Amino acid sequence: MKKNKKIVIIMIIIIILEITIYQNRLLKKEIEVQASIAKQEKSEIQNQNEIKEEHPEIPGKTTDWELILINKENPIPENYKIELSNIENAHKVDNRIKTAIEQILADARKQGLQPYICSSYRTRNTQKTLYNKKVAQYRKQGYTQENAQKEASYWVAIPGTSEHEIGLALDIVSKKYQILDEKQESTQVQKWLIEHCTEYGFILRYPTLKKDITMINYEPWHYRYVGIENAKFMKEHDMCLEEYIEYLKKYE
Ligand SMILES: [Zn+2]
């Protein structure tokens, strides 16, 4: 009987010891997990700070009026309001960009250049007419209706998806060379405009290397107003409007 009691006591001690060891192990593990979470959180915060430090001042917000994104996937909102102002040769633009366009044209002329606006604000009906004309051209070449529409949309935006309909875009050419083809980029007017447009808040909206993103062919004559700081930032970081908007969304 005495012997049995001893064994029981020893067993109880062993069990208590084992429980204590097990508890200690659990505690140690928990401390390790907490330490690793803390480490992870710290490195995430560090990363965020690094990104912010790299670009301490992002000039725009996606909600800014001058950054409205209009393309095949983002048609003009139905309630979009526009106040137009007249500029030269009976052209019209959103009145908020009147001064910027007048300034860039005046400064180009001071350089002895002859810029010429060939398109500015368009009504939905004008856009429809231009688009249908382009589709008809492709139909004449033997394209199916579906393919003709697709090809046309790379040159003339589908009605309701053109920046010309919101008065923030202009097609500017050299008075001496008014054909809308790639040779535009070699005229003195276009060279000057491409180099200086950001200083007035404009971007060349459809660069040749961004066609896959903009879904519009290279147009070295189509300028879009986005504001001076945004334009400069986009140029510096080689971003088209679609890319810039995506970039801004990351920080909002
Ligand atoms: Zn245009």
Quote the tokens at residue 176.
């001496």
Residue 171 has pLDDT above 80, yes or no: yes
Q: CB of 230 within 8 A of CB of 66?
A: yes
H helices of 55-157, in order, are 98-110, 124-140, 145-153
Q: Does pLDDT of 107 surpass 70?
A: yes
pLDDT at 48: 54
Predicted pLDDT of residue 30? 76
Phi/psi-derived region of residue 84, left when phi > 0, alpha when psi is between -120 and 50, beta in every other case: beta
Please tell me the distance between residue 204's alpha carbon and the centre of ligand 1 in angstroms: 10
CATH architecture of 65-122+162-249: 2-Layer Sandwich (3.30)
Active-site position among 102, 163, 219, 252: 219
Q: Is the pLDDT of residue 230 over 90?
A: yes
Q: Residue 7: what pLDDT?
A: 77
Rounded-to-integer distance, Cα 22 and Cα 121, Å: 77
What pLDDT, on the 0 to 100 scale, is given for residue 234? 96
- pLDDT at residue 72 in the model: 94
Residue 28 has pLDDT above 70, yes or no: yes
252 is catalytic: no
pLDDT score recorded for residue 96: 98
Residue 4 pLDDT level (bands cut at 50, 70, 90): confident
pLDDT digits (tens, 9 = 90+) for 118-159: 999 999 999 999 999 999 999 999 999 999 999 999 999 999
Residues 228 and 38: beta-carbon distance below 8 Å:
no
Q: Which two tokens stand for residue 182?
A: 């790639």
Distance 157 CA to ligand 1 centre (A): 9
Q: Which helix (H) or strand (E) holds 11?
A: helix 2-54
What number of CA atoms fall less than 13 Å from residue 199's CA on the CB side? 10
Task: Report how far ligand 1's centroid is from the alpha carbon of 163 (Å).
Answer: 8
pLDDT at 16: 76
User: What does pLDDT average to over the chain?
Assistant: 90
Q: How far is the CA of 222 from the centre of ligand 1 (A)?
A: 4
Please name which of 233, 111, 78, 93 lies closest in space to residue 166, comparing C-alpha atoms.
Answer: 93
Strands 202-204 and 84-86: unpaired
Q: Is the pLDDT of residue 214 over 90?
A: yes
Model pLDDT for residues 29-76, shown as the tens digit of each residue: 776 767 666 666 666 655 555 555 565 578 899 999 999 999 999 999
Distance between Cα 45 and ligand 1 center (Å): 44
- How does pLDDT run across 187-203, given as a tens digit for each residue? 999 999 999 999 999 99
| CA 120 to centroid of ligand 1, rounded, Å | 7
Q: What is the pLDDT of residue 181?
A: 94
Q: Any idea how long the chain is?
A: 252
Handedness of CA 74, 75, 81, 82 (dihedral sign): positive
In this prediction, residues 169-187 reach a mean pLDDT of 95
Task: Give the mean model confidence (pLDDT) for residues 216-223.
Answer: 96
Work out the widest C-alpha separation in the chain, in whole angstroms: 120
Mean local confidence (pLDDT), 172-195 = 96
**Contacts of residue 204, Cβ cutoff 8 Å, sequence gap at least 6:** 193, 194, 197, 219, 220, 222, 223
Contacts of 167 (CB under 8 A, 6+ apart): 82, 84, 92, 93, 94, 97, 120, 121
DSSP 206: S
CA 61 to ligand 1 center in whole angstroms:
24
User: Ligand 1 centre and the CA of 62: distance in Å?
Assistant: 22
Ranking 49-58, 75-84, 197-206, 224-233 by mean pLDDT, the lowest is 49-58
Q: Mean per-residue pLDDT for 168-193?
A: 96
